[in-house]
Amino acid sequence: MDNETTATIGVIGGSGLYELFEPGTADEIDVTTPYGPTSSPINVGTMSGRRVAFLTRHGRAHSVAPHRIEHRANLWALKSLGVRAVVSSSAVGGLHPDYAPGTFVVTDQLIDRTWGRADTYFEDEVQHLSFADPFDPVLRRAAIDAVAALDVPFRPTGTCVVIQGPRFSSRAESVWMRNAGGHTINMTMTPEVPLAAELGIGTVNLSFVTDADAGLAPTTDATATTETAADTTTTDAPVTHQAVMDRLARANEVIVRAIGSIVAAIPEDYTPRELVPASATARVMERRA
């Protein structure tokens, strides 16, 4: 594999983020994996002076539902291209008043409420992943510094509750999850993050709060301008898919700029943590379709 189709940094785009590079500036690659096709072809290009491999989690037409994403294929493909660090973007709901719509969050903890998903590469051997701190501390430090410098509404920590989807929560469920310690809510961070860890890939997550989940959390969109000041989330307004996509479209430029800042801040000599033995990861990467 030549230098034009390798990258040490991967970006996984969440809802609303379907393009990362200017048209014609990246190489499109289809990687064959033992776990089927990736959610989208992978584009390898240059961002912030670094070689980056980009794929979109839900497919370019947002055609892959959260519970149908084959995260194993996505992460295996990125690893095969040389990726050591993944910057993931996520659209999340806010469960807590301090996590208002329009806020960026560098997530540090997860509560997994999904079920039935393929969540490990080690089906035929026992490997216990150390997962107390799901996101890589070195990458989180770089991301916190990068996003803090952008002058956007920002939280350097947050616990995300990952639900099965594709439906949104009931009000009772939102209250329960907030009382359990959740700050945000999402449908895709697991098993993506633990699978990356099993392959020796460090992850950092940049979340963008699009809504107040079932109408629980705060008030006004923190990114609203004078023209959009009426775009508020009241305590009675439940989340809808269209409202989420509309807010993501308005914030797209800022989200891409924040990702670029994080990519630039990742140390050139970054080495991921070894949370399962490297020999076990090597066996996974030796598998063929």
Residue 171 token pair: 């009000």
Q: What is the DSSP letter of 61?
A: T
Q: What is the largest CA-CA distance in the chain?
A: 57
Please say if 246 is a catalytic residue: no
Q: Is the Cα dihedral 286, 76, 53, 272 positive or negative?
A: negative
3-state secondary structure of 89: strand
Q: How many CA atoms lie within 13 A of 126 on its CB side?
A: 0
Please say if 112 is a catalytic residue: no
Question: 108, 112, 136, 213: which one is catalytic?
Answer: 213
Q: Are 178 and 216 in contact (CB under 8 A)?
A: yes
Question: 133, 211, 221, 246: which one is catalytic?
Answer: 211
Residue 28's Cβ-count burial label (10 Å; 0-12, 13-18, 19+) is exposed
Residue 8 token pair: 């040490």
C-alpha torsion 89→23→47→193, nearest 10: 30
Residue 252's Cβ-count burial label (10 Å; 0-12, 13-18, 19+) is middle
CA gap 250, 18 in Å, rounded = 14
Q: What is the DSSP letter of 67?
A: G
Indicate which residues carry an active-site annotation. 211, 213
